[in-house]
Amino acid sequence: MELSKKTTILFPPELHEHLSRVARERGTSLGELVREACESVYGAVSTPERRAAVREMRALALPVTDVATMKRESVPEPGEIEA
């Protein structure tokens, strides 16, 4: 990827420290970490890429039923979660 545009971002000290720590733990730069986050949240995905993703999800053949049944199967009842 060609990097040709520069942007200055000001972070509160606590957030900067946190992001710097995450970048170090991942073995990457703070800039790369921020670029990845921006791409993940705001990245432009082409229509062919979206269609390919839908095809891949459809190929998973996951069990799907009505919403009420899926909620009942997915959300534990009170008391089912161990403390």
Residues 19, 30 contacting (CB under 8 angstroms)? yes
For the chain, the structural domain boundaries read 13-74
Contacts of 30 (CB under 8 A, 6+ apart): 19, 20, 23
pLDDT digits (tens, 9 = 90+) for 1-18: 688 899 999 999 999 999
Q: pLDDT in tens for each of the 83 residues of the chain?
A: 688 899 999 999 999 999 999 999 999 999 999 999 998 888 887 888 889 998 998 898 888 889 888 888 888 777 777 75
Q: Which pTM was predicted?
A: 0.54
